């Protein structure tokens, strides 16, 4: 029989993987993330030498971080400690973990001088995401809505699942599509036109829709 060669590659940072394993050389990519108990154990490891305030609730942080890898959880612990040092606190508090989680998930807040009209448009855009997201049965709950620029985004609506998900219903995926299109819909209703701010939303929706099709394309 003909020998079959299978090559497996692991990376904590797939976006910066060795170019020898670039697209076309690997046919399957799987993201392996710990479950809630695993995340809690990882957080305990990375905070064992930190002075934690009495209000720190690592089980709650673990529940709020589904899908995050060990490297991302380590980064979360580090960011939380840096925030406590910046505030000249003697201990790392729960609010440091919550703010650190936002930074890891959304990117660092940045100062950006935006015209008032653009701020207004961004507010309606994010409100559209939040409103349609909250109205969809079975959708992930909306946790934060902001028009403070973070990373490359002018505003952010963050929805996170309340528990780990390993399978997705059609209802859930449709809810995600509707929520993602909420910003574009709000712009169209209020201003009559849409902007390039919806580009990433359309990419996300396209990816979900392709995944729902039998052929995945």
State whether residue 33 is helix, strand or coil: coil
The mean pLDDT value of the chain amounts to 87
Residue 188 pLDDT exceeds 60: yes
Q: Between 170-191 and 116-135, two packed helices, what is the crossing angle to 10 degrees?
A: 150
The pLDDT value given to residue 90: 95
- Between these two residues, 23 and 36, which has the higher pLDDT value? 36
Distance separating alpha carbons of residues 31 and 39, to the nearest angstrom: 15
Residue 1 banded pLDDT, cuts 50, 70, 90? low
- Residue 157's beta-bridge partner residues? 145
Residues with Cβ within 8 Å of 138's Cβ and at least 6 positions away in sequence, in order, are 169, 171, 172, 175
Question: By C-alpha distance, which of 151, 153, 157 is closest to 139?
Answer: 157
The pLDDT value given to residue 177: 93
Distance separating alpha carbons of residues 69 and 81, to the nearest angstrom: 19
The pLDDT value given to residue 154: 87
DSSP characters over 71-138:
HHHHHHHHHHHHHHHHTT-SSB-HHHHHHHHHHHHH--B------HHHHHHHHHHHHHHHHHHHHSTT
State the CB neighbour count (10 A cutoff) for residue 15. Answer: 5
Contact 101, 76 (CB under 8 A): yes
Q: Is 126 a catalytic residue?
A: yes
Average pLDDT over residues 104-109: 84
State the CB neighbour count (10 A cutoff) for residue 159. Answer: 20
The pLDDT value given to residue 124: 95
User: Could you read off the pLDDT of 39-78 as tens digits, one per residue?
Assistant: 999 999 999 999 999 999 999 999 999 989 999 999 999 9
- What share of the chain has pLDDT > 90, as a percent? 52
The pLDDT value given to residue 44: 97
Domains of the chain (ranges plus CATH)? 36-106 (1.10.8.60), 116-212 (1.20.58.760)
* Catalytic, out of 72, 102, 117, 126: 126
Residue 215 pLDDT exceeds 80: no
With a threshold of 0.85, does the pTM exceed it? Answer: no
């Amino acid at each position: 029989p003909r020998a079959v060669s299978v090559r497996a590659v692991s990376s904590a940072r797939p976006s910066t993987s060795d170019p020898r394993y670039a697209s076309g050389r690997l046919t399957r990519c799987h993201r392996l993330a710990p479950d809630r108990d695993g995340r809690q154990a990882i957080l305990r490891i990375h905070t064992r030498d930190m002075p934690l305030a009495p209000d720190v609730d690592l089980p709650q942080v673990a529940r709020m971080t589904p899908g995050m890898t060990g490297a991302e959880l380590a980064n979360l612990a580090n960011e939380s400690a840096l925030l406590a040092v910046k505030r000249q606190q003697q201990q790392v508090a729960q609010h440091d973990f919550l703010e650190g989680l936002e930074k890891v998930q959304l990117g660092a807040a940045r100062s950006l001088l935006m015209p008032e009209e653009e701020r207004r448009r961004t507010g309606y855009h994010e409100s559209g995401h939040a409103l349609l997201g909250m109205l969809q049965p079975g959708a992930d709950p909306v946790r934060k809505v902001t028009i403070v620029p973070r990373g490359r985004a002018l505003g952010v609506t963050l929805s996170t699942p309340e528990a780990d998900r390993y399978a997705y219903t059609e209802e859930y995926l449709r809810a995600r599509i509707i929520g993602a299109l909420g910003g574009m819909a709000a712009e169209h209703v209020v201003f009559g036109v849409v902007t390039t701010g919806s580009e990433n939303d359309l990419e996300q929706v396209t990816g979900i829709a392709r995944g729902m099709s039998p052929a995945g394309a």
